[in-house]
């Protein structure tokens, strides 16, 4: 990407663009005038997302969106896409993402997440595209020594194969920049994305039993599940339950667009935390969601889960100062929008 390219002249390839965070980012990109190419194999997403994106952005913006159903590990498919589309930059979301499943299926996780990244950046290199934003995670910080976490906080050994894939992909992308200083890499370390598009047309739609707290709470609220399972109430936190930095998916999407605008024409590798800077406990989330849906949600206390840390939250000063980005939504907003999505789409995109 050159310094002078306006959004309307910039083509962004979004891997995993039909997924939860990817789809919301695609909406933001289209609303800012970018040309967008989604590559998604729909293994953990619904094709109906594409119709919802069109509804949200309108017919004129929707004309700037292309979709390819393809696996990012498929080099031949990627070459065809890069040959057909004038890609200037890539936002890389695609990957398996269930922590528990990664422990059961480590080979599949390493093969898919790392393999797809290697295939992608090799195809990018061959086609002269060297700008990439990677969807990383606060899991790379492990069990923190001190809070809040800054980008200078040490990376710790991961507690599961999913976390290790994020950890290793960061190192792969850093190595690219060392080997070829023309690369322009941004690593975005997310904290805990929740919420949904305020329209209620798009939200998180996990297949099977949700691995994350918020979709599980939402499914309890809509009657699909009996009670929220709270893993551990004996942590060293104000109410004994784990504390996390929850961020609205629309704030997260805006962070990607801000990073894309900031990196235009630069080279090197930069890391940014994306969170709110505020920690919220599991019980506080349940209480906030109960307020959003208008009834007390039942929960049961279970033993701690292996690998869960007591607390983490972000220091996001770097993103504020360098990207001009700051989270706008609070926990009440996140729960309101999640409930709006789930109550209008009780079975996700399938009903």
Tell me the catalytic residues: 162
The 10 Å CB-count burial string (b at 16+, else e) for 54-84 is bebbeeebbebbebbebbbbbeebbeebbee
DSSP state, residue 32? T
The pair phi, psi for residue 273, each rounded to 5°, is -80, 140
Tokens, residue 243: 């504390």
H helices present in the chain, as ranges:
20-31, 48-57, 59-62, 75-84, 99-104, 106-109, 115-126, 161-179, 213-221, 249-263, 282-293, 317-318, 331-344
3-state SS, residue 258: helix
What is the Cα–Cα distance from 131 to 264, expressed in whole angstroms? 8
The answer to whether the Cα torsion of 17, 23, 29, 33 is positive or negative is: positive
CB 217 within 8 A of CB 286: yes
What is the Cα–Cα distance from 109 to 105, expressed in whole angstroms? 6
CB 241 within 8 A of CB 304: no
DSSP state, residue 140? G
CA dist 46 → 77, 100, 159, 177, 207 (Å): 20, 22, 30, 35, 10
């Amino acid at each position: 990407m050159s310094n002078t390219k306006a959004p309307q002249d910039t083509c962004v390839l979004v891997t995993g663009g039909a997924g939860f965070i990817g789809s919301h980012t695609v909406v933001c990109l289209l609303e800012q005038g970018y040309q967008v190419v989604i590559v998604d194999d729909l293994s953990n997403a619904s094709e109906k997302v594409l119709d919802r994106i069109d509804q949200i952005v309108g017919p004129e913006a929707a004309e700037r969106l292309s979709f390819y159903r393809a696996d990012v590990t498929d080099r031949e498919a990627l070459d065809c896409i890069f040959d057909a589309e004038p890609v200037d930059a890539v936002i890389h979301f695609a990957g398996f993402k269930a922590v528990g499943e990664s422990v059961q299926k480590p080979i599949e996780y390493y093969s898919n997440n790392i393999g797809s990244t290697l295939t992608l950046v090799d195809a990018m290199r061959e086609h002269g595209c060297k700008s990439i934003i990677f969807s990383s995670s606060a899991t790379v910080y492990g069990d923190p020594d001190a809070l809040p976490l800054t980008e200078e906080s040490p990376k710790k050994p991961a507690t599961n194969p999913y976390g290790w894939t994020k950890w290793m992909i960061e190192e792969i992308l850093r190595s690219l920049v060392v080997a070829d200083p023309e690369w322009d890499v941004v690593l975005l370390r997310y904290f805990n994305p929740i919420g949904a598009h305020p329209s209620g047309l798009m939200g998180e739609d996990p297949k099977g039993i949700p691995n994350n707290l918020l979709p599980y709470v939402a499914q309890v609220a809509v009657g699909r599940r009996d009670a929220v399972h709270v893993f551990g109430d004996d942590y060293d936190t104000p109410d004994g339950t784990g504390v996390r930095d929850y961020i609205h998916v629309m704030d997260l999407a805006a962070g990607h667009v801000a990073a894309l605008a900031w990196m235009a024409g630069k080279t090197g590798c930069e890391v940014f935390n994306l969170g709110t800077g505020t920690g919220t406990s599991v019980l506080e989330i349940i209480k906030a969601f109960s307020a959003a849906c208008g009834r007390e949600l039942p929960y049961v206390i279970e033993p701690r889960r292996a690998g869960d840390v007591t607390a983490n939250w972000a220091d996001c000063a770097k993103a504020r100062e360098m990207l001009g980005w700051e989270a706008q939504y609070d926990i009440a907003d996140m729960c309101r929008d999640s409930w709006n999505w789930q109550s209008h789409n009780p079975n996700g995109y399938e009903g």
